[in-house]
Amino acid sequence: MLAIVERPVEVPVSQIVVADAVVALADLARAVVARVRATGGLRIVGITGSNGKTTTKNLLARILEDDGETVAPIRSYNNEVGAPLTMLRVTDRTRYLISEFGAAGPGSIAQLAGLVEPDIGIVLMVGLAHASGFGGIEATALAKSELVQATRTGGTAVLNVDDPRVWAMRTLAADRDQTVVGFGQGPDAVVRAEEIVVTAEGTTCTIVSGEERIPLRLRVLGAHHVGNALAAIAAAGVLGIPASDAVARLETVEVAERWRMQPMGNDRVRIINDAYNASPDSMAAALRTLAQITAPGSAPSPCWGR
């Protein structure tokens, strides 16, 4: 066991004393990932967005883990401590690193993503989660776009075509010679969802990828999670995993994350625990899902809302 500390601590553990533990942790993570990446086998995916990061991370990890050793954050390890700690779990056997990047303020995503320069950058949506802290939704969009600019030159930007602020980031991707892969329901989407139906048992839709039309039965509640699934399928496709394989693996996921649209209770009382976190967008999506699954029958639903 080893501790990075800013002053010696009287505990029986090896210690490295540094001026700033957070900076040292980031430097160590950068060095470890660079060393492993130099062997040529490691692919890195970065994810950001006002909502959906943790769900998308978990869905993508489920797809990739059947293809090779995959390192992904536990819970929401997406800040200046959690992101480097996740990176430090990479070994010489790791094939995929998924990094989730939260935005504590302007420049924070650029700093975290800059530690690894992802091969693929996924931007899910720009919502109201940080609008007050950033000074408005346009400032939030600028912060989220830092991931596209930190994704390596010649890499891939996976962008939500249904969010105009996210889709506008394709110009930043072009400036870095990145391939743009759109996902969503709009005509520009390379990976698209059609015929979305929400029920109390989950969400069904048809995934359209190229000439393929693949039925998806997602056991995770809520149409908003279809968008997260599309992002995961699109990123997996960039990594060479066919959409049909990605869909089959997603259908094994029962809960996207503990306390996030998690069904509980019994036959008499049904509880949906969505207490993981909240923002205006996520609360609206939860209420929309509740209305859909309690209404007589199920109607096609918008893909985005959280």
Give the pLDDT score at 300. 43
pLDDT score of 299 more than 90: no
Residue 96 lies in domain: 37-294
Of the ranges 87-96, 134-143, 162-171, which one carries the lowest mean pLDDT score?
Answer: 134-143
Of residues 59 and 137, more confidently modeled: 59
What are residue 257's DSSP bridge partners?
Answer: 260
If we measure between CA atoms, which residue out of 250, 255, 222, 221 comes closest to residue 235?
A: 250
Of residues 142 and 262, more confidently modeled: 142
Q: Is 11 inside any structural domain?
A: no
Q: Is 97 inside any structural domain?
A: yes
Structure confidence by residue, pLDDT tens digits, 19-58? 999 999 999 999 999 999 999 899 999 999 988 899 999 9
Distance in angstroms (rounded) separating the CA atoms of residues 234 and 191: 6
- pLDDT bin (cut points 50, 70, 90) of residue 302 is very low
Distance in angstroms (rounded) separating the CA atoms of residues 211 and 162: 21
Q: Is 171 inside any structural domain?
A: yes
**Where is 283: in which H helix or E strand?**
helix 280-294
pLDDT score of 178 more than 70: yes
Tokens 């700690």, residue located: 85
pLDDT score of 66 more than 70: yes
- pLDDT bin (cut points 50, 70, 90) of residue 104 is confident
Structure confidence by residue, pLDDT tens digits, 260-293? 666 666 667 667 777 666 666 666 666 666 666 6
Q: Is 120 inside any structural domain?
A: yes
Tokens 């690894």, residue located: 116
What are residue 207's DSSP bridge partners?
Answer: 193, 214
Does residue 108 contact residue 143 with C-beta atoms inside 8 Å?
yes
> Positive or negative, the Cα torsion across 105, 106, 110, 111?
negative
* Residue 276: CATH number of its domain: 3.40.1190.10
Neighbours of 187 (CB within 10 A): 8
Does residue 15 contact residue 2 with C-beta atoms inside 8 Å?
yes
Q: Is 275 inside any structural domain?
A: yes
What are residue 15's DSSP bridge partners?
Answer: 3
Distance in angstroms (rounded) separating the CA atoms of residues 117 and 113: 6
- Alpha helix stretches (DSSP H) within 99-183: 108-113, 131-134, 137-144, 146-150, 164-167, 170-175
Q: Is 24 inside any structural domain?
A: no
Tokens of 145: 């776009």
pTM over 0.95, yes/no? no
CA angle 110, 228, 208 (to 5 degrees): 120
> Positive or negative, the Cα torsion across 33, 39, 42, 46?
positive
| Domains: count for the chain | 1
Tokens of 278: 């909240």
Q: Is 16 inside any structural domain?
A: no
Q: Is 137 inside any structural domain?
A: yes
